[in-house]
A and B are shown apart, each in its own frame.
Chain A
Amino acid sequence: MHEMIKAKAIELLESGCVNRVLGWKAGEFFYDLTPAVFTTREEIERDFVYSVFSAANLSKYLIAESRKEGKVAAFLKPCDSYSFQQLLKEHRIWRDNVYVVGIACDGMCDMDVIRDKGVKGVTAVHQDGENLKLETLYGTATMPKSDALPERCVHCKSHKVVVFDEMLGENGEENPDSGRFDEVERIEAMTPDERFAFWRKELSRCIRCNACRNVCPACSCEKCVFDNDKSGVAQKAAASDFEENNFHIIRAFHVASRCTDCGECSRVCPQKIPLHLLNRKFIRDINELYGTYQAGADMDTKPPLMDFTKGDAEPSVVYGRGGKQ
Chain B
Amino acid sequence: MKKISRSDLPRLFEALSQARRLYIPADDGSGQAKFLPYTPGMELTQNLNTVRSAKDLFFPQVENLLKFKVQGKQIEILDDRDPVEPFVIFGVRACDCRSFDVLDNVFLHAEPADTFYQARRENAVVMTLACNAPEETCFCTVFGIDPADPAGDVTMWQTKDTLYLRANTEKGAAVLDDLPLDDADDAAVAAQQAATREILKKLPLKDLDLNGFDHEHMLQKFNDPRWAQLSESCLGCGTCTFVCPTCQCYDIKEFNTGKEIQRFRCWDSCMYSDFTQMSAGQPRPTQKERFRQRFMHKLVYYPANNDGLYSCVGCGRCLQKCPIHMNIVKVIKTLGGECHDA
Using CB atoms and an 8 Å cutoff, list the residues of chain A in contact with chain B: 27-29, 31-37, 56, 61, 111-112, 116, 120-123, 136-138, 201-202, 205, 207-211, 213-215, 227, 229, 232, 234-239, 264, 267-268, 270-273
**B52-A207 in contact (CB<8A):** yes
- Measured CA separation A37–B277 after assembly (Å): 30
Kindly state whether residue B342 has any CB partner on chain A within 8 Å.
no
B212-238 interface bits toward A, Cβ cutoff 8 Å, 1 = contact, 0 = none: 000000000000000001001101111
**A34 adjacent to B239 (CB under 8 Å):** no
- Chain A residues lying within 8 Å of B232, measured Cβ to Cβ, are 36-37
Task: Check if A236 sits within 8 Å of B266, measured CB to CB.
Answer: yes
Q: Are B202 and A137 in contact (CB under 8 A)?
A: yes
- Least Cβ–Cβ distance between B196 and chain A, in angstroms: 11
**Using a Cβ–Cβ cut-off of 8 Å, how many residues does chain B contribute to the interface with A?**
54
Contact A236 B134 (CB under 8 A): no
Taken together as a complex, chains A and B put the C-alpha atoms of A243 and B326 apart, in Å, by: 29
Indicate if the CB atoms of B62 and A239 lie closer than 8 Å. Answer: yes
Known pairs A121-B136, A202-B30, A234-B255; list 12 more (Cβ under 8 Å): A27-B330, A28-B329, A29-B204, A36-B233, A61-B233, A120-B48, A123-B136, A209-B237, A209-B239, A213-B237, A236-B272, A237-B251
Min CB distance, A136 to chain B, in Å? 8
Q: How far is the CA of A122 from the CA of B253 in the complex (A)?
A: 42
Do the beta carbons of A28 and B48 come within 8 Å of each other? no
Can you list 7 A-B pairs with a CB-CB distance of less than 8 A? Answer: A32-B325, A37-B232, A208-B238, A209-B269, A211-B235, A237-B62, A237-B251
A215 pairs with B323, CB closer than 8 A: yes
Query: Do B324 and A35 have beta carbons less than 8 Å apart?
Result: yes
* B319 at interface by CB-CB < 8 Å: yes
Which B residues lie within 8 Å of A227 (CB)?
Answer: 272-274
3 A-B pairs with least C-beta separation:
A237-B266, A268-B323, A32-B325
The answer to whether B335 has its CB under 8 Å from any CB of chain A is no
- Chain A residues with CB below 8 A from B326, complex form: 34
Q: How far is the CA of A37 from the CA of B231 in the complex (A)?
A: 11
Within 8 A of A (CB), among B5-31: 28-31
- A239 near B237: Cβ-Cβ < 8 Å: no
The CA-CA distance from A32 to B268 in the complex, in Å, is 26
Please state if A122 and B233 are interface contacts (CB–CB under 8 Å): no
How many Å lie between the Cα of A32 and that of B326 in the bound state?
A: 8
Q: Are A29's CB and B238's CB within 8 A?
A: no
CB atoms of B133 and A236 under 8 A apart: no
Selected from B61, B237, B330, the residue in CB contact (under 8 A) with A28 is: B330
Q: Is B126 an interface residue when CB atoms closer than 8 A count as contact?
A: no
Give chain A residues whose Cβ lies under 8 Å from the Cβ of B32. 271-272
If A234-B266, A236-B266 touch, whether A214 touches B136 (CB-CB below 8 Å) is no
Say yes or no for B333: interface residue by CB 8 A criterion. Answer: yes
Residues of B with C-beta under 8 A to A213:
237
Q: Give the CA-CA distance A239 to B135 in the complex, in Å.
A: 33
The interface residues of chain A lying within 8 Å CB-to-CB of B174 are none
Interface centre among A56, A138, A207, A209 (most CB of B within 10 A): A209
Q: How far is the CB of B169 from chain A (nearest CB, A)?
A: 31
| CA A234 to CA B6, docked complex, whole Å | 44
Bound together, the chains give a CA A229 to CA B277 distance in angstroms of 10
Q: Which of A56, A121, A123, A227 has the most CB of B within 10 A?
A: A121
Contact of A56 (CB < 8 Å), options: B28, B253, B323: B323
A121 and B62 contacting across the interface, CB-CB below 8 Å: no
Q: Report B-chain residues with C-beta under 8 Å of the C-beta of A32.
A: 319, 325, 327
Q: Is the CB of A121 within 8 A of B233?
A: no
A222 to B327, CA, bound (A): 25
Residue of A nearest to B51 (CB): A270
B38: chain A residues at CB < 8 Å are none
Contact between chains at B133 and A211 (CB < 8 Å): no
Our pick among A28, A116, A120 for the contact of B204 (Cβ within 8 Å) is A28
When A35-B233, A56-B324, A236-B251 are in contact, do A207 and B319 touch as well, CB less than 8 Å? no
Q: Which residues of chain B come closer than 8 Å to A136, judged between CB atoms? A: 136
